[in-house]
Structure 1
Amino acid sequence: MTRAEVSRRRVTAAWLGAGVAALTGCAAAAGPPRRLRLATGPEGGPYNAFGKALARAVAASGARLEIVPVSTSASVDNLRKLADGTVELALAMADVAEDAVLGREPFASPVAVTALARTYVNYTHLLVPADGPVRSVADLSGRPVAAGAAGSGVRVVAGRVLRAAGLGPGPTAVREWPLGLGASVTALREGSVDALFWSGGVPTAALAGAAREVPLRFLALDGYVGALREAFGPVYTAVTLPAAAYGLTEPVGTIGVGNYLLARDGVPVDSVRELLTVVFDRWRDLLRDVTAGARLEPRFAISTGSLPLHPGAVAYYRSVYG
C-alpha cells in the first residue's frame, strides 16, 4: 500500500463520522441557493467549458446551489484564488495542486485546499510544423516556444519537460513565450514560434482545427515520464495520443496529468454532497466539450494523491459505496 493510500484511508476514517453527522444536521433548508464561485480558466478553454456546463447542470438539478464560473488564467491562478478566498471552488491540474498543498514553487507556502474529485486526464501536447527542423525536444534549444500562459498548468508541465530535457536556464534554454492556447496556435501558424505546448483533453478543438489547416508533427514525450515522476511523484503518467484524434499516422506517447475539482475547507458538507451528486449524474454533459471518450466514476474520482478529500466528498463517496 502506498503512502497516499494509507493517508487517504486515515483521512476517510477521520472525516467520515464528522461528515455524516454534519449531513444529518444540514438537510436542505428553505432559503436562497448557496452561491459558490468556481475558478475555471480562460474564455474558450476546457476548464471554462467545464465550469459553464457544471453551472447549467446544477441550475437544472433543483439543488440549493448556484455555481458561478469565474474566468482565470487556469491552474496556478485558481489555487491562489482559493487560498485568498476569492473563490470557493476551483479546477486545477494535479501537479499544480500537489505543488500548492506541499508549498512547492510556484507557491511560497502550503495552500489549505481539499479535493472533491479527480475529473479527467489532461494529455500533454507538443506540436511543431511537420516540415520544420524540430524532431525532438532537444531540437528546441534556443528556439521560441509557446509554453503556456502565465498562471496556467501548461506553463508548469512545459517548464518541467524542458528542464528534464536539459533545456533549462543557460545557453541551451528555449525562449519561452507566455501564450494562451488561441495565441499559441496563431503564433505557430505564423511562424513566430517553433513549437507549442498544451495540456488538455483529446481532441482539443483548437489543435484539431490547426492540424486540419497546417501540417503538424506531435512530438513524443513519454520518455520524460520517469524523470518527472522521480522529481514530482506519481501525478505524471504515460498516456497515448490516439492516431484518430488528430489525423496522426500513428499513436504518440506523451505525459498524462489528472485534473481535480477542488474546494476550500469551509465549503459546507451538504453543499459538496449536492454538488457531487450533480457531477456524477451529469458527467457526460460536463465532459462533452472537454475530452472525448472519458468517463467519470467514483472509484477513480477519489484518486487525488496528496490532497485530502473534503468531508462532504467523503460522505458522498461513502454513500455511493454503501
Structure 2
Amino acid sequence: MRSGAPRSGCATSPHPPGSPKVEPERLFTAVLFCLLDGLTRPPHPANFPAGLGSTEIMKRTIFGVAAALALAASAPCAHAQSFINVLTGGTSGVYYPLGVAIGKIYGDKILNVKTQVQATKASVENLILLQQGRGELAFTLGDSLKAAWDGDEEAGFKTKLDKLRTIGAIYPNYIQIVATTESGIKTLADLKAKSLSVGAPKSGTELNSRAILSAAGMSYKDLGKVEYLPFAESVDLMKNRQLGATLQSAGLGVASLKDLSTSSPITVVSVPKETVDKIGPPFIAATIPANTYTGQDKDVPTAAVVNYLVTSSAVSDDLAYQMTKLVYESLPELQNAHAAGKEIKLETAAAGSPVPLHPGAIRYYKEKGLIK
C-alpha cells in the first residue's frame, strides 16, 4: 500500500455518499477558531438559557471544544484510503482487460480503496515495479516470476526480488507463433533468415521467445530480422507486409491475433511436444484449438506456461486476503472480460508458484481447504 493507506489503528469508515470532502486540517482549524472565539467572547447573559449561569455555560463550552478537537483529530483516519495499482501489460493483450475487470471489482467491493490499472511491458517490468513499491497487484508469467525470485540478470533482474509474494495461479499463456501465409513460414525451422517479432524487450514474451528458439536449436542470430515489439505493433507491421511472423505469449483468443486473422491469411506455427520437453518446467505441452483464429481449421500443438497474480510483502495481510478472495469469487466477471478468464480455477490457485504465497492469500486458501 502507498502513503495513502490507513495508518495503524485508524478506522476506515467510508465517506458519506454525496457529501463534500473537507480536508481534515482545514476542518480542525475552522472548528477550533470558532469555538475559541466563543470562549473569548462569551454570549451576553441575557441570552443564557433559563436556569444556567455563566459558570455552567463556560463548562459546557469547554466540553464542546474538547469534543470538537477529538472529532477533528480523528478526521484523517475516517477518510484514509488504501491504493491498489494493478500492473498489467499492453492494451491489446489479455492482462489488460482482466486487470481492468479486477480493478473494478476491488474498487466496488473493498471499502476505502482507490484502484488504478496501469498498462506496462508486462511480466518483467511488473515485477520490478512491485519490488519498488509502485504497484500492489501484478500479472506475470511463471518463468519470469522464477527468474525474478532467483535474481537472473540475463532475464532482466539485477538483484533477487525478495519482496514478491504470490496471490495465486490464474490461466496458462499459450505460445502462439503466427505468420502471414505470404511469408511461407510453416514450421519453426522456416523462421531461419525470416523476420520475427519476439515481444517487447525483456518482457515475459521475449523470454519465452528465447526459450522456444533455443529448444528448437536456434537463436536470434539465425533470424533474418528481430523486432522487439508489443502485440499490436507487431500485427500492424504484418498487415503492412513488413514482418513475417510474431510470437505472442498470451491467453487464447488474444485481440491482436484475432485482428490479424480477420484481415490477412495466416498460418499458426506448431511447437512440437519434443521441443517443449527440452525446455521443461514451467513449460508444458498444450494445444491451440481449431478455429481459435479465423482461417485456423486444425488443432495446433504448442507450449504453455502458467500466469500468476503477484503482490508484495508491503501489502497488509487483510488487504491481500480480500484481493485473493475477490479474484477467485468473481470468476464470472473475469470470464466476461476475456475468454482466458474461463481457464482460471480456484482448485489450482494455490499450487506451483516459485515464490511464497502472501500470508493473506494463505488465510483464504486455508478457509477453502486448499492448503492445511
Q: Which structure has more RCO (C-alpha within 8 Å, separation ≥ 6)?
A: 1
User: Post-superposition shift, 1:81?
Assistant: 0.8
Residues 307-318 of structure 1 mapped to structure 2, 5 A cutoff: 307-318=355-366
How far does the alpha carbon of each residue in 1:23-44 deviate from its partner, in whole angstroms, 9 at most, with x for none? xx99984343311222111233
Contact 1:225 1:236 survives alignment (8 Å): yes
Q: Which moved more, 1:59-68 or 1:242-251?
A: 59-68
Q: Distance in 2 between matches of 1:267 and 1:129?
A: 45
Q: Distance in 2 between matches of 1:296 and 1:196?
A: 26
Q: Distance in 1 between matches of 2:10 and 2:257?
A: 45
- Structure 1's 36 and 99: CA in aligned 2 closer, same or farther, altered over 3 A? same
Contact 1:74 1:91 survives alignment (8 Å): yes
Residues 139-218 of structure 1 mapped to structure 2, 5 A cutoff: 139-168=190-219, 170=221, 172-218=222-268
Q: Which moved more, 1:28-37 or 1:247-256?
A: 28-37
Instruction: Give the partner amino acid of 1:256.
Output: A
How far does the alpha carbon of each residue in 1:124-161 deviate from its partner, in whole angstroms, 9 at most, with x for none? 10011224322211111122111111242111101211
Per the alignment, residue 21 of structure 1 pairs with none
Q: CA RMSD in A?
A: 2.1
Normalised by the length of structure 1, the TM-score is: 0.85
- Structure 1's 126 and 77: CA in aligned 2 closer, same or farther, altered over 3 A? same
Instruction: Give the partner amino acid of 1:134.
Output: I
Instruction: Give the partner amino acid of 1:149.
Output: A
1:133 aligns with 2:184: yes
Q: Distance in 2 between matches of 1:201 and 1:28?
A: 41
User: Post-superposition shift, 1:207?
Assistant: 1.0
- Structure 1's 207 and 289: CA in aligned 2 closer, same or farther, altered over 3 A? farther
Q: Distance in 1 between matches of 2:206 and 2:308?
A: 17
Q: Distance in 2 between matches of 1:175 and 1:189?
A: 17
- Structure 1's 119 and 27: CA in aligned 2 closer, same or farther, altered over 3 A? farther
Structure 2: 5+ residue runs without aligned partners? 1-7, 14-77
Contact 1:260 1:304 survives alignment (8 Å): no
Per the alignment, residue 56 of structure 2 pairs with none
Structure 1: 5+ residue runs without aligned partners? 1-24
Per the alignment, residue 243 of structure 1 pairs with 290
- Structure 1's 111 and 62: CA in aligned 2 closer, same or farther, altered over 3 A? closer
Instruction: Give the partner amino acid of 1:213.
Output: S
Q: Distance in 2 between matches of 1:76 and 1:277?
A: 25
User: Post-superposition shift, 1:314?
Assistant: 0.3
- Structure 1's 129 and 296: CA in aligned 2 closer, same or farther, altered over 3 A? closer
Instruction: Give the partner amino acid of 1:58.
Output: Y
Q: Distance in 2 between matches of 1:28 and 1:197?
A: 49
- Structure 1's 49 and 28: CA in aligned 2 closer, same or farther, altered over 3 A? farther
Normalised by the length of structure 2, the TM-score is: 0.74
User: Post-superposition shift, 1:303?
Assistant: 1.9
SS of the equivalent of 2:313 reads coil
